[in-house]
Amino acid sequence: MAGELILIIEDNEKNRKLARDVLQVKGYKTIESETAEEGLTLVLEKSPALILMDIQLPGMDGITAMKQLKADPITKDIPVIAITASAMTHNRQTMMAEGFDGYQTKPISLKDFLGEIERVLVRQAS
């Protein structure tokens, strides 16, 4: 599974660059946003196959943005993976219960990160 367009919504430039570089090396196309608000606009314009959503963003947080995506008939089927540095407060079960399709902690483990992306995209395709 490569070639899919993945939207990275992340306010930290270094984290965004790492995700972009790793994904592009694996053959994915990427678009990026520093805010949830801009990300929501990009989703409608570009229809990505997957969204990587930071939880703690300036302005609207990632949970609120994901819920808006899931409530919209146009974007409800686009999988969203939560990316969070707060592994203690937002554990995997909590994030999945909120409605996310996947979960990764920062700093990312490249193997786990790519594995989670592939798992979610394969599940979406079936």
The DSSP string of the chain is --S-EEEEE-S-HHHHHHHHHHHHHTT-EEEEESSHHHHHHHHHHH--SEEEEESS-SSS-HHHHHHHHHHSTTTTTS-EEEEES-TTTS-HHHHHHHT-SEEEESSPPHHHHHHHHHHHHHHHH-
Angle separating helix axes 110-125 and 13-25, nearest 10 degrees:
60
pTM for the structure as a whole: 0.94
Domain ranges of the chain: 5-125
pLDDT tens across 63-91, in order? 999 999 999 999 999 999 999 887 555 58
Percent of the chain with pLDDT over 70: 95
Return the CATH class of domain 5-125: alpha beta
